[in-house]
Structure 1
C-alpha cells in the first residue's frame, strides 16, 4: 500500500505511462479469441469491440452522470473524508496504478479502507480481513469507498460502466493464464460492470474464478450499448442497496 497519498488533481503524470506487456498483447490481439465456457474452449468474436465503447455519446453520458453524482454525493464524501481522517492514521485517499484503455496506466482513487502500511506487497482483501478499518468495513460493504472514482471518470481514465481495472500484479499473473485476458483493455475500465452485477467481484483465488470474470468482461466489450449500460446501472443500484456479499 505504498502508493497511498492525498488527492493531487494537478499531478497526473501516471497517465502518460504505458504497460509494455499490455500494449504488446493488444497489438497482436486476434479478431477471434478462445474463451472458456463451462470448461470448454470456444471461439469468441472480439475484434475491436462494440463501436459504442469509444462513441462520443458514451463519453458525454459519463461526464454528465459523473458530474451529477459528484454533486449529489459531495456532502457524503465530505463526511467520509472526515471519518477516515479522524479514525485512522494515513492519507484519506488511496491511489494505485491500474491498467486502462489500451493498456495505458492511470492512478485510481478510492477512500482508504485499510490501515495505512508502507509495505510493498499487494494482497486482495478477503472476508474478515484484519487490515480493514472499522470505518473501512462500512465503506466496502456499501461500496462508498469507490465514490472518488467519479473523478477518474471526469479525467477520462474510466467510464461509469466497463470492466473493473486490475492492479498490475494481477494483470501480470493472469495475462497468459486466462483466455482472452488482454481483450479487457478494448474498453475504458468502469466503476461497475457486467461481471460485478453477476456477483463476479472480490477475490480471485483461482484461474477459474478470474476466467469467469474475464468472460463477462469480454461479453461486455462485444455487446456494449447504451441499453446495456442502463441495465447494468439499475442492477448495480439494487445490488448496492440490498446485497450482503460486499466486504
Structure 2
C-alpha cells in the first residue's frame, strides 16, 4: 500500500549526510518550489485509457471501501495520531501537493513519519534514512502512514487503485525524460497500484527505474477493470502483511 518513494518535507535537524541516490536526485530535480505539470499543455502518449478509469462503478466502489476502511481503522488512526504527537514535534498529518487526475493539484495526506523541519528537503526516503522517526519507521514498514489517504479517496482526489501520485518536482523532472510519463495522469492516483504489487517501489534515482514503474502505470491505464482492481487489492494485502521490503 505504501509508496516508499514518496518525498517528505521533513528532515532530522543537523543531518547533512546524503546518499548517492539523494545526490543524484539533487542533480535531476529542480530546486525551490516545484511547478506542477499541466496535462492539458502536454502531449499524452499512453495508448489511451479506458472507460473503467472514470466509471461510476469504480467511484462507488472507492467510496464504499474508503468508508468501510476508515470505520475499521479509526481506533488505530487515533492511536497513531497520539503516538506521533507525543514522540516528535511538528504536525501529525503531513500534507504535500501532488499531481492528480489530468494534472490537477491536490493535497495528499499521510501520518508524518519523519522529523519535522522548516527547511526544503525533497530527497526520496531510503533504507536506514536518519530523517525517519522511531514511530515513523514502524508506520512506514506497515504502510500505516498511508491510512489518511482514505480521506483523499472520499474527497475524490484519489482512488483505492491507480498510479501512485508523485511529488510535483518528480513529474517536472521526468515528464520529458520518460516516454509516456504523463499518460499515467489519465487515471486518478491510487493508494496502491499495479507497479507497487510488482515491486516497482522505493527510490527512483534514474530514468530507467522510473520507466519501469511508468510502464506498469500505463498498462493499468490501458487494462483497468474491476477484476484487475480486485486482484491488485488482494496482492496488496499480502504484501502489507508479509513483505519485508518496506522502509
Q: Distance in 2 between the 1:103 and 1:179 partners?
A: 17
Q: Distance in 1 between the 2:149 and 2:135 partners?
A: 19
Q: Distance in 2 between the 1:246 and 1:203 partners?
A: 12
User: How far did residue 20 of structure 1 move?
Assistant: 5.3
Report the secondary structure of 2:160's partner residue: strand
Q: Distance in 1 between the 2:214 and 2:153 partners?
A: 22
Alignment of 1:203-222 (within 5 A): 203-222=203-222
Tell whether the 8 Å contact from 2:37 to 2:172 is kept in structure 1 after alignment: no
Segments of structure 2 that go 5 or more residues without pairing to the other structure are 1-7, 11-34
Q: How many residues align?
A: 217
Alignment of 1:138-217 (within 5 A): 138-217=138-217
Say which structure is richer in strand.
1
TM-score by length of 1: 0.85
Q: Distance in 2 between the 1:109 and 1:98 partners?
A: 10
- Bigger relative contact order, structure 1 or 2 (CA pairs below 8 A, ≥6 apart): 2
Q: Distance in 1 between the 2:38 and 2:90 partners?
A: 32
* Deviations, residues 99-126 of structure 1 (Å, cap 9, x unaligned): 0001000000000000001111311000
Tell whether the 8 Å contact from 2:37 to 2:171 is kept in structure 1 after alignment: no
Q: Distance in 2 between the 1:177 and 1:121 partners?
A: 23
The root-mean-square deviation of aligned C-alpha atoms, in Å, is 1.6
Report the secondary structure of 2:109's partner residue: strand
Aligned to 1:22: 39
Segments of structure 1 that go 5 or more residues without pairing to the other structure are 4-17, 34-44
Q: Distance in 1 between the 2:37 and 2:99 partners?
A: 11
Pairing 1:46–2:40 present: no
Q: Distance in 2 between the 1:202 and 1:2 partners?
A: 17
* Deviations, residues 56-81 of structure 1 (Å, cap 9, x unaligned): 00000000000000000000000000
Report the secondary structure of 1:211's partner residue: helix
Q: Distance in 1 between the 2:80 and 2:36 partners?
A: 33
Alignment of 1:87-106 (within 5 A): 87-106=87-106
User: How far did residue 2 of structure 1 move?
Assistant: 5.5
